[in-house]
Structure 1
Amino acid sequence: MAKTSLLLFLILMTSSLLGQQILTKKYTPEQCIRMIQEAADALRSFQPGVYRYHTREDFDRYLDSIKATVQAPLTELELYRKLKPLVSRIGCLHTDLVTAVNYKGLLNKTPNLLPLQVYGTGERAFVVKNYTTNNGIVAGDEIMAINGRPMPDVLRQLLAAIPSDGYNQTMKYLALYHMFPLWYRSIIEVADTFTVTIKHNGIPSVYVLPAAQKKNIEQDGFLRELHYPRQLEFNITGNTGVLTIHTFANSLIRKGDQNFKVFIDRAFAALNAKGIPDLIVDLRYNTGGSDANAAYFTRFFFDKPYRYWYRIEVTEKVAGKIRGLAGIWYRKPVKKDSTWLWQKGKRVRDFDFYEQQYPSENAYKGNVYVLINGFCMSSCADVASVLSYNRKAVFVGTETGGGFQGNNSGIMPGINLRPSKMVLTVPLQQYFTAVDPEMNVGKGTLPDLPVIMTIDELARGIDKPMEAAMDLIRSRQ
């Protein structure tokens, strides 16, 4: 064997062995309980919204119940499956737990994914797309069980592990629609075959499906993020404008050679110059981004001063850390009664928007229709809340995944849970949107016109929410 070939063989073999060690290495029960407790302590100390939707007593009870289940050594993935529901239970989509950076990469090298795209609703799940050669399974068939597990049990276990703001479910189900095989692998089991009970036309049948490798079945929007050549799109057809904002994140917008404020200014200038009476704003799948961009966008829908956020809170531990180098960038939080209020930054504008906001000189006065779904998160959810509460638009689609009352985000450090490679992301700021504090508590922005897609519409790619908005416009015109 040539020296180069031998060297390559040794490198690949060593890499494979290291990969197996990462996947199979076990931690003692004492180590596992210590990591679970460390995660809980970090959340209590630094996450200001840890009791926003559940009491401390409820959190402690659930924590104790998880620790009680640790009776034997666990791999990192097994420990992740126990700890992930505790993190998600807080009701914060920004608080996250991930396995080792290369953990998923190692799993992706072998076939271990269910080869079906799945749509869940309530306790039921249906096939949207079949990625096998088995023609007996078609779109619309109901999945009754996977590897002996009834689907209601599967869905309950998966939904408990997927984070969202408050008690929101639309984000969780949408995540399953796009990523069911990955969530099943992460939370329930890694398998090389799947025995699936399928009901077709009321008749159940059992199929044994070989597992698929991620690279062989992934596509844009399934097991892979949606890709857009341009993050901002605008057009006028007849008397209707359509403005699509896929993100408020400057980093993504700039990749398409676009500038957010310039683009938005020009779009509204065109709407007003042409006297366009109706505007559809598509915010679906906008997972957030720059608060400055999001707040700037809302200015085009008001004709008098308004509020965007009411306040931003942090924990006492976080307030105490604003000193030294941190003091160059941030002001010391101010204590008011029993809470610590975050202040505007010294050198950053990320926290400027709890003060009074002012409308744009080129504000739009026509009819506005906003399309939303469960993947409207973070700053996008703030935009939806502010516009909905102030009745600046008709909302069409499904509830946003981001909270109506606000969220926990801002500065979000990662905490390593040693000796594992897991990382816990902890947001340090708790935001309160300028809305009625008694309205939609624990929920996102609710649609004025709910639009639920059928399996057939999903499979055929029909844009039912857009059609519903167009129907509203036609009925008014």
Structure 2
Amino acid sequence: MKLIKFLILVLFPSLILLNSCKQESIKTVINKEGSLTQSEMLEDYDLLKSIYINANAGLYKYHTKAEIDSVFASNKKLITKKLSYREFYTVLWNVIDYTGSCHNTLKYPDSLDKKLSKQKIYFPIPLKYINNKLYTNLDYKGIPLGSEIISVNNMPENQFSTLISKYVSTDGFNKTGKYAGIETDWLPFYIYLTLGAQNEFKLKYRTQNSSRTQELKIASVTCKDFYKNYNQRFSKTYENRKNEDYTYKYLDSINTGVLEVNTFAMGGPKSKGHKKYVKFLDSVFTNLKTNNIPNLIVDIRGNGGGNDPNDLLLYSFLTKRSFKENTTAFTLFNEVPNQEYYVYDDIKELASELAEEHSILKDGKYYQNSTFNKTWHPNKNAFNGRIILLIDPFVASAGSLFASLLKSDPNTIIIGEETLGGYYGHTGHIPVTYELPNSKLDVTFSIVDLEQDVEQLLDEKYGDGVKPDFKVTQTYQDFLDNKDTEFNFAIEKIKL
């Protein structure tokens, strides 16, 4: 196994692989969710707590031990004999989410996923979240595109949005990334976790330019049907504008370069993808320097992370300071704890690599040594002009680390919305997965807690994502017109 220094944050992958089969009733689905006894649920719950205490270096990153203990204790009281499998998932998630790491996941067993995916129990309409309101992202069954959702099954929109968005994991106390998850293809699963299996959904909504509230019941669909609708969503054209890993163009009218880096997942330092990326950056920044271009827009919206050192390499072309990936990075172990529940077969290799990289034992923590955290210096072709960075709530992991480094520099203007990933640090690098023996739920988290090499800033509190200098989000009208609000705002700033 070759460790990936930054777990690629696949925030919202396709929920399940879909296979055609005979439809089953909702009652059958509920029965097949699993009939765990109270003692079995308590056993899995206590095991999760043990694993987190032994292996999760970020457990107390944003909360005190007393606060974490209190959350474990209060949620344990919710485990009763009548608790369903789905509700047990939520009890576990309450604790997992509270710890505040964008690398946290809790996964249904594949067999149950496949059974549920074939049932007509899911919400059918892709949605758009704009300025704290929900809008339909598709014409559907008489409900026009852009209709504002007032309530779902008599649940007011604000309560509905809060409950379904809780299943998105973010760093620290971030909320923007949670609400952004509503717009993804994970939406039907989030609604299922919140409301359970549904035969139909009762919607109250208002159409464009109307104050009249209308009501309509719409039938539930399978996941496959939702994905068909999702792939026909109105905003797809706008979202697919960023369909390459990285691009560069020059805007002659305002003498500005535009560099898009949509992922850092080009591979590690010896990969072909990384070497191609190095040549690309060399070419771009040589061109910027040779032509004395004064402005550069760096667009990393949607960048959920990737491989080291692709983020750090890009930053070396944009900064005037020497820097490191992080100031500290530690894990709690060099021998995998709770091994009998560990999913992968790389225990010996993981232990060996941890011993090599995290070799400094101090106060019960294994710190990263300097061999794996070198000092970087500005590239000889580093850009010296004005930098505008575009960010959004989907930026995380290596993406948000890059954004935090760049925000520390005085010549950067940041436009967009707070990132899902943290400004001061995150818990990442190496993912591990454990299977809880009774529920068969897979718990995944990363084991290295790190503090990023960034400046202390007045507008950044510990637990925040990277915040913009100018908060700009797509407006409702720009959504209907498929316009890029943030990019257009950046252009106007350059023209001033």
The verdict on a shared fold, with TM-score over 0.5 as the criterion, is yes
Q: Distance in 1 between matches of 2:21 and 2:171?
A: 43
After TM superposition, the structure 1 = structure 2 runs for residues 114-193 of structure 1, keeping only pairs within 5 Å, are 114-120=123-129, 125-135=133-143, 137-141=144-148, 143-179=149-185, 180-193=187-200
Match of 1:250 in 2: 266
Letter paired with 1:464:
T
Does the 8 A contact of 2:101 with 2:427 survive in 1? Answer: yes
> Structure 2 vs 1, CA of residues 240 and 121 (structure 1 numbering), >3 Å: closer, same or farther?
closer
Match of 1:107 in 2: 116
Letter paired with 1:236:
Y
2:405 aligned residue (362, 366, 386): 386
Q: Distance in 1 between matches of 2:472 and 2:448?
A: 33
Q: Tell me by how many angstroms 1:76 deviates.
A: 3.7
Q: How many residues are paired up?
A: 453
Q: Distance in 2 between matches of 1:336 and 1:40?
A: 24
Q: Is there any run of 5+ residues in structure 1 with no aligned partner, and where?
A: 1-10, 346-351
After TM superposition, the structure 1 = structure 2 runs for residues 356-395 of structure 1, keeping only pairs within 5 Å, are 356-395=375-414
Q: Distance in 2 between matches of 1:366 and 1:427?
A: 37
Does the 8 A contact of 2:72 with 2:95 survive in 1? Answer: yes
Superposed CA RMSD: 3.3
Is the deviation greater in 177-186 or in 442-451?
177-186
Q: Distance in 1 between matches of 2:351 and 2:437?
A: 29
Q: Distance in 2 between matches of 1:220 and 1:433?
A: 40
Q: Tell me by how many angstroms 1:121 deviates.
A: 6.1
Does the 8 A contact of 1:282 with 1:372 survive in 2? Answer: yes
Match of 2:3 in 1: none
2:50 aligned residue (32, 41, 49): 41
Does the 8 A contact of 1:129 with 1:459 survive in 2? Answer: no
TM-score normalised by length of structure 1: 0.85
Match of 2:474 in 1: 453
Q: Secondary structure at the match of 2:328?
A: strand
Do residues 329 (structure 1) and 336 (structure 2) align? Answer: no
Does the 8 A contact of 1:333 with 1:341 survive in 2? Answer: yes
Match of 1:411 in 2: 430
Q: Secondary structure at the match of 1:419?
A: coil
Match of 1:340 in 2: 366
Deviations 1:312-357 (A, max 9, x none): 0112576999996546434253133564312357xxxxxx33x421
Q: Distance in 1 between matches of 2:67 and 2:49?
A: 13
1:98 aligned residue (84, 95, 107): 107
> Structure 2 vs 1, CA of residues 367 and 437 (structure 1 numbering), >3 Å: closer, same or farther?
closer
Q: Tell me by how many angstroms 1:215 deviates.
A: 3.4
Match of 1:198 in 2: 205
Q: Secondary structure at the match of 2:163?
A: helix
Letter paired with 2:405:
V
Q: Distance in 2 between matches of 1:187 and 1:113?
A: 11
Q: Tell me by how many angstroms 1:405 deviates.
A: 0.6
2:461 aligned residue (434, 440, 446): 440
Does the 8 A contact of 2:416 with 2:486 survive in 1? Answer: yes
> Structure 2 vs 1, CA of residues 63 and 272 (structure 1 numbering), >3 Å: closer, same or farther?
same
1:218 aligned residue (205, 230, 234): 230
Does the 8 A contact of 1:319 with 1:333 survive in 2? Answer: no
Letter paired with 1:334:
I
Letter paired with 2:136:
V
> Structure 2 vs 1, CA of residues 21 and 452 (structure 1 numbering), >3 Å: closer, same or farther?
closer
Do residues 305 (structure 1) and 322 (structure 2) align? Answer: yes
Does the 8 A contact of 1:309 with 1:433 survive in 2? Answer: yes
Letter paired with 1:335:
L
After TM superposition, the structure 1 = structure 2 runs for residues 47-86 of structure 1, keeping only pairs within 5 Å, are 47-72=56-81, 74-86=83-95
Q: Tell me by how many angstroms 1:255 deviates.
A: 10
Letter paired with 1:147:
N
Does the 8 A contact of 1:178 with 1:222 survive in 2? Answer: no
> Structure 2 vs 1, CA of residues 421 and 373 (structure 1 numbering), >3 Å: closer, same or farther?
same
Deviations 1:94-113 (A, max 9, x none): 12211113433433323333
TM-score normalised by length of structure 2: 0.82
Q: Tell me by how many angstroms 1:75 deviates.
A: 4.8
2:249 aligned residue (211, 230, 235): 235
Q: Is there any run of 5+ residues in structure 2 with no aligned partner, and where?
A: 1-19, 340-345
